[in-house]
Amino acid sequence: MKLGLPPFTRTATFRLAVLYALLFTIFSAGLLIYLYAATVQYTRYVADQRVNAELDSIQKAFRDGGLPRVNQSLIERASIPDRYFLYQLTTPTGTKLSGDLSGMPAEGTGRVEFPIDAQRPDGSLLTIEAEGRIVRLGDDALLMVAFDAQQRNEVTRRITQAVWVAFGVGLALALGGGIIVSRWVNRRAEELASTAEAVIGGDLHRRARLRGANDEFDRLAERMNAMLERLERLVKASRHTGDSIAHDLRSPLSKVRNRLESALSEEEIAPEKARDTLETTLGEVDRVLATFNAILRLSNASTASRARMVRTDVADLVEELAEFFEPAAEAVGLTLKAEKPKSAIVLADKAQLSQAVSNLLDNAIKYTPTGGYIALQVAVNRETNKVDLIVIDSGPGIPEHARGRVVERFVRMDSARTLPGSGLGLALVETVAEVHRGEFLLMDGRGAPDRPGLKAVLRLPLA
């Protein structure tokens, strides 16, 4: 059986925590080693200084009065209670002259370390570590000054111990903290993941829970919820579209079917009549195809990528469209004027934007009675950093209560049912506005209250 690691160990936070603990360990190990070395070196230096000072003072006595003076000095020193130093004076061959030990612990001169037996205050014996230095006094004798190194070694041992404890505690803290943090992060990530899981499973209503801490997870959850909101809206819209398509295409297709059926049921069909039936049917099928094309264009527009967008001067675009539509307007007795637009740069899919404005102009030409006017304007608002592409006509306008509905797919006003059209034109404008992070507004034009005309505004953010 494979031993699995707990899930939080596979998180980025945990890996970071481990890395952090590792770095912490390396750093503190370095620091502690330095501390240890420095302390040991310093205590050794201080002890050496004291031993040297003591040796100096005894050598001075030797220079002043020879061995007898040294001997006397040692006797004096030995009488000091709780003395720090041990002394030993021998002949150059090692025969004891006076001192605390039975003989020299080492031959020659220089530094020595040796064990000695000592008596505890209660009388029991123990071995302690001593350290000292041996020097030659002229040709007559060898002198050693030593001290009890037990205490110093004890300090070193304690420091070593503290170093190990600090090291262990630090490492445990780093790892433990890492585990706690990564488990916490993992739990919050799991919460978001479970929301996503639920949505994948089909529950489009599910939203991520906010903790109210306004931390990065809350912000992520917020954006995720906004995304889900939009997704839900799109799914609903496309469901609605699907229903509408079925509904809208059913009736022309049933008509086609009926016509073909009745033509088939006739015993003998006159060639002119057959041709007539086929032509009418073809026309109807063409209209169905045109509706399909409009639907495809609409769904293309709503999935358009920002990648296709380029910096576009709306003034040029509007001027070209005005020039394009002007003769058609004139032909039905309307004046179409583009009020000399100021240059305004937006980030746009040029083909889509042209199509949107052209839909507005198409509508204006279609619904404005002869003798009326259509005005095309560009208004820049530097304060809000937006530009309005405006089409105003002197037609019947759209009553306020219907304005929200006419931008929905397949919605047509009753007064327009007899005119050709798919009911998708304004829906496309709305979609193009959305894709360009702008908005589409409908309001009264500048006519009299009973016949206000329509003002359609495509508001886009300036680039």
Partner 1 sequence: MNLLVIEDEQESADFIAKILGGAGYEVDIANDGDSGLRKARDGDFDVLIVDRMLPQKDGLTLVQEYRDGGGNTPVLFLTNLGDVDQRVEGLRAGGDDYLSKPPAPPELLARIEVLARRQPGEVPITTLKAGDLEMDLLSRRVHRGEQKIDLQPREFRLLEYLMRNSGQVVTRTMLLEKVWDYHFDPQTNVIDVHVSRLRAKIDKEFDEPLLHTVRGAGYRLQA
Total site size for partner 1, rule CB under 8 A: 26
Q: Which residues, 6 or more positions from 350, have their beta carbon under 8 angstroms from its beta carbon?
A: 310, 312, 317
Q: Do the Cβ atoms of 391 and 361 come closer than 8 Å?
A: yes
Provide the minimum distance between the beta carbon of 448 and partner 1 in the complex, in angstroms, as a whole number: 26
- Per-residue contact flags (x/-) with partner 1 for residues 418 to 457, judged by CB under 8 A: --xx---x--------------------------------
Q: Which residues, 6 or more positions from 463, have their beta carbon under 8 angstroms from its beta carbon?
A: 311, 345, 346, 347
* Inter-axis angle of helices 271-302 and 216-265, nearest 10: 180
Say how many Å lie between the first and final Cα of the chain, rounded.
Answer: 61
Region of 3-11, 325-333, 367-375, 378-386 interacting with partner 1 (CB under 8 A): 325-333
Chosen residue from 358, 411, 439, 463 binding partner 1 by CB under 8 A: 358
Q: Does 362 bind partner 1 (CB under 8 A)?
A: yes
Q: Does 351 bind partner 1 (CB under 8 A)?
A: yes
Q: Does 37 bind partner 1 (CB under 8 A)?
A: no
Q: How far apart are CA 406 and CA 162, in angstroms?
A: 80
Provide the minimum distance between the beta carbon of 193 and partner 1 in the complex, in angstroms, as a whole number: 34
Provide the minimum distance between the beta carbon of 245 and partner 1 in the complex, in angstroms, as a whole number: 16
Q: Is 132 exposed, middle or buried (0-12, 13-18, 19+ CB in 10 A)?
A: buried
Q: Which residues, 6 or more positions from 285, have their beta carbon under 8 angstroms from its beta carbon?
A: 256
Q: Does 81 bind partner 1 (CB under 8 A)?
A: no
Chosen residue from 197, 266, 316, 330 binding partner 1 by CB under 8 A: 330
Give which of 258, 200, 251, 256 is closest to 224, Cα–Cα: 200
Enter the tokens of residue 66: 């020879």
Region of 13-21, 101-109, 159-167, 288-296 interacting with partner 1 (CB under 8 A): 288-296
Q: How far apart are CA 237 and CA 336, in angstroms?
A: 35
Torsion angles phi and psi, residue 265, rounded to 5: -75, -15
Give which of 180, 116, 179 is closest to 149, Cα–Cα: 116
- Per-residue contact flags (x/-) with partner 1 for residues 258 to 287, judged by CB under 8 A: ------------------------------
Chosen residue from 182, 355, 394, 431 binding partner 1 by CB under 8 A: 355
Nearer to partner 1, 159 or 288 (CB): 288
Place of tokens 């109807």: 284
Place of tokens 């020879």: 66
One-letter amino acid for residue 102 of the chain = S
Provide the minimum distance between the beta carbon of 425 and partner 1 in the complex, in angstroms, as a whole number: 8
Nearer to partner 1, 192 or 411 (CB): 411
- In DSSP terms, which residues pair with 442 in a beta bridge? 456
Q: Does 235 bind partner 1 (CB under 8 A)?
A: no
Q: How far apart are CA 411 and CA 302, in angstroms?
A: 18
Q: Does 293 bind partner 1 (CB under 8 A)?
A: yes
Q: Does 296 bind partner 1 (CB under 8 A)?
A: yes
Helix H or strand E segment including 23 = helix 12-78
Residues 159-178, interacting with partner 1 (CB under 8 A): none
Region of 138-146, 251-259, 349-357, 368-376 interacting with partner 1 (CB under 8 A): 349-357
Nearer to partner 1, 76 or 279 (CB): 279
List contacts with partner 1 (CB under 8 A).
289, 293, 296-297, 300, 308, 320, 323-325, 327-328, 330-331, 349, 351-352, 354-355, 358, 362, 365-366, 420-421, 425
